[in-house]
Amino acid sequence: MYIKQLYTGCLSEAAYYIESNGEAAIIDPLRDIDIYLNLANERKAKIKYIFETHFHADFVSGHLDLSKATGAPIIYGPNTKTNFTVHVAKDGETFKLGELTFEVLHTPGHTLESSCYLLKDASGKNHSIFTGDTLFVGDVGRPDLAQKGAEITMADLAGMMYDSIHTKLFPLEDEVLVYPAHGPGSSCGKNLGPNTHSTIGEEKENNYALKAASKEEFIKQVTDGIQAPPTYFPINAKINKEGYDSLDNVLIKGLKGLSVKEFKATLTEDTIILDTRNATVFTNGFVPDSISIGLEGRFAEWAGSILPFESPILLVTEQGQEKETIVRLARVGFDKVKGYLEGSFEAWQKAGEEVDMIIDIEADELMMDMPHDKNLVVVDVRRTTEFADGHLKDAKNISLIDMTDPAAMSDLEETQNLYLHCAGGYRSVIAASLLKRQGIHNLRNILGGWAKIKEQEKAEIVKETSVLN
C-alpha cells in the first residue's frame, strides 16, 4: 500500500495518489494532471480509477483530462448528474485496487452527491477514509453550496450532514486515518484546523461539530457565522459538472509572447491586465489599469473572487512565470488568457510607455500623519471578523472581496487621503490596484499591514465585541 497526499497550498487543496500492486487511484485531482501521470510513471503503475468526492466549487477538477490521458473511469457517488460520461456508484459499492478495496459511502450534506471513499487493506480491515468536504480536521464542510431555491435549505443540508457523519463515519474505528480534501485557509469550511490529516478518534475528541450534543445543536453550530462563499464557487461547480476545454488548449492560446505594440493592440475595453509579480515589486511601477494579484499569495482564490470570468486577460508576469500563471488561473476556471507581455514590465518601461505606481509607507509614518491630516482615512481591507478582532479607531472597513462593488466604494471621496492596509500587505496592494482602476489615485499602501500597525505605541486599537460574540 502506498498513499501520497498531494497538497496545493494556495488553494488549501489535497489530492491523493493511492497504489497497490501496480494499480493506482487518484482522488480529487487538480486540472494540471502532470503530477499524477509522472508519479504513476515513476512508480511503474497504471492509473485505474479517478474518484471524485463531489462537484468541487473552489477549483476545476482534472477529471476529464486525466481520464482522457489514462482511460480510467471517473467515479462519483450517488445522485450525480453530469454532461459527460462517469460511473455513478451506489452507496456501499466497492472497487478493487491491487490488494486493496475502496468502499463508497454516500455522505450528502456539503452537497447532495458528496461521498467518502473508505480504503480497506489486504485483510479487509478499515485503514483510511478520504472524506472530501464532508469532514475536515477540526471542521465539517459548509452546507450552503447545493441549494435549489426553496426546495432545500442550508439547515436541510446541515441536517443531512449530521446524519451522514453519525451513520457512516462515527461507526468507524478510532484509528482509521482521515484524509480530507482541504486544509487550513480553505473557504469550504468555517475554520479548518492546522493539519491536513487526522484520525476518526481525534476528530471525535477535538472537532467542534462532532461534539454537538444533538442534531439541532449541530445544525446551529455549523450554520451560525458562516461567511458568504466566494463568488466563483458556483461557476467552478458548474464547470466541473458540465465540462471544460483541455488545459493543453488553454496553454496553447495563452502562452503567446506579445511585444509592447502587440500588447497594446490586443487591449480592448473589457480586457483585464493582470500583473502577477510580487506585491512589493508591483507598487514600484506597473502598466496603468493593471490589477495586482501576486503569485506569492492565495493567487487562484483571489483571482476567482475578483476577476470577471467573461473578460479576456493579458498577463504581466515575472519572466519565466507565464506558464505557472496560466495553469494556476485555469485551476479556478479562467480560460481566456490571450497572451503575456514579452520582457515583462521592463519592456513596457524601455518602450517609453506611461507607467503608474503606488506609494508605499511604513506604519510609523501613518502614525505621524494621522494627527495632522484631517482628510486622512484609514481603509482596512481585511475581512469583517479580522477587523472586529482589532483595528485602528475610526478606520473604515471595506473588505477586499467587496471592492468590485461600486456600492461599497460610495463613501470614499476624492478629497480624502486614503491609507490602505490588510494583515500583512498582500491584499492591500490588490485593493489599491482596484481603486486606481476606478480613478481613485490619492492613496498609500501601508507596508506590513496590521502586523506592523499594532506594534506602534501610538496606535489606538479598538474591537467590535458585538461581531466577535
In angstroms, rounded to a whole number, what is the distance separating the alpha carbons of residues 203 and 139? Answer: 9
pLDDT tens over the chain, length 469 residues? 999 999 999 899 999 999 999 999 999 999 999 999 999 999 999 999 999 999 999 999 999 999 999 999 999 999 999 999 999 999 999 999 999 999 999 999 999 999 999 999 999 999 999 999 999 999 999 998 865 544 789 999 999 999 999 999 999 999 999 999 999 988 888 889 999 999 999 999 999 999 999 999 999 999 998 888 888 999 999 999 999 999 999 999 999 999 999 999 999 999 999 999 999 999 999 999 999 999 999 999 999 999 999 999 999 999 999 999 999 999 999 999 999 999 999 999 999 999 999 999 999 999 999 999 999 999 999 999 899 999 999 999 999 999 988 888 888 887 899 999 999 999 999 999 999 999 999 999 999 999 999 999 999 999 987 665 5
Residue with cell 481603509: 379
- Domains 2-234 and 359-468 alike in fold: no
- For 9-86, list the strands marked E by DSSP: 13-20, 23-27, 46-51, 74-76
Residue type, 425: G
Q: Please state, as a whole number, how many other Cβ atoms lie within 10 Å of the Cβ of residue 207.
A: 20
Domain ranges of the chain: 2-234, 245-350, 359-468
pLDDT of residue 423: 97
In angstroms, rounded to a whole number, what is the distance separating the alpha carbons of residues 78 and 384? Answer: 38
Residue with cell 480613478: 439
Looking from the CA of 317 toward its CB, the CA atoms found within 13 Å total: 24
Give the DSSP letter string of 215-267: HHHHHHHHHTTPPPPPTTHHHHHHHHHH----HHHHHHHH--EE-HHHHHHH-
Tell me the angle at which helices 63-70 and 34-42 cross, rounded to the nearest 10 degrees.
40
Residue type, 445: N
Phi, psi of 258 (to 5 degrees): -115, 135
Q: Cell numbers at residue 383, please?
A: 475581512
Q: Cell numbers at residue 245, please?
A: 476545454
H/E segment holding residue 205: helix 200-206
In angstroms, rounded to a whole number, what is the distance separating the alpha carbons of residues 367 and 202? Answer: 46
Fold annotation for 2-234: Metallo-beta-lactamase; Chain A (3.60.15)
pLDDT of residue 150: 46
Handedness of CA 260, 265, 269, 273 (dihedral sign): negative
Residue type, 31: R
CATH superfamily ID and name for 245-350 = Rhodanese-like domain (3.40.250.10)
**Region of 109 on the Ramachandran plot (φ > 0 left; ψ -120 to 50 alpha; else beta):** left
Q: Cell numbers at residue 244, please?
A: 471544460
DSSP label at residue 356: B
Handedness of CA 6, 254, 290, 349 (dihedral sign): positive
- The pTM of this model reads 0.92
Residues with Cβ within 8 Å of 303's Cβ and at least 6 positions away in sequence, in order, are 274, 293, 328, 329, 332, 334
Q: Are 100 and 122 in contact (CB under 8 A)?
A: yes
In angstroms, rounded to a whole number, what is the distance separating the alpha carbons of residues 404 and 12? Answer: 24
Pick the CATH number of 359-468 from 3.20.20.70, 3.40.50.1400, 3.90.580.10, 3.40.250.10: 3.40.250.10
Q: Please state, as a whole number, how many other Cβ atoms lie within 10 Å of the Cβ of residue 245.
A: 13
pLDDT of residue 231: 87
Is beta strand 417-421 parallel, antiparallel or unpaired with respect to 359-361?
unpaired
Which residues on adjacent β-strands are paired with residue 314? 273, 339
Phi, psi of 7 (to 5 degrees): -100, 135
Distances (CA, A) of 369 to 21, 128, 149, 365: 68, 57, 51, 6
Q: Cell numbers at residue 309, please?
A: 470570468
In angstroms, rounded to a whole number, what is the distance separating the alpha carbons of residues 415 and 395? Answer: 16
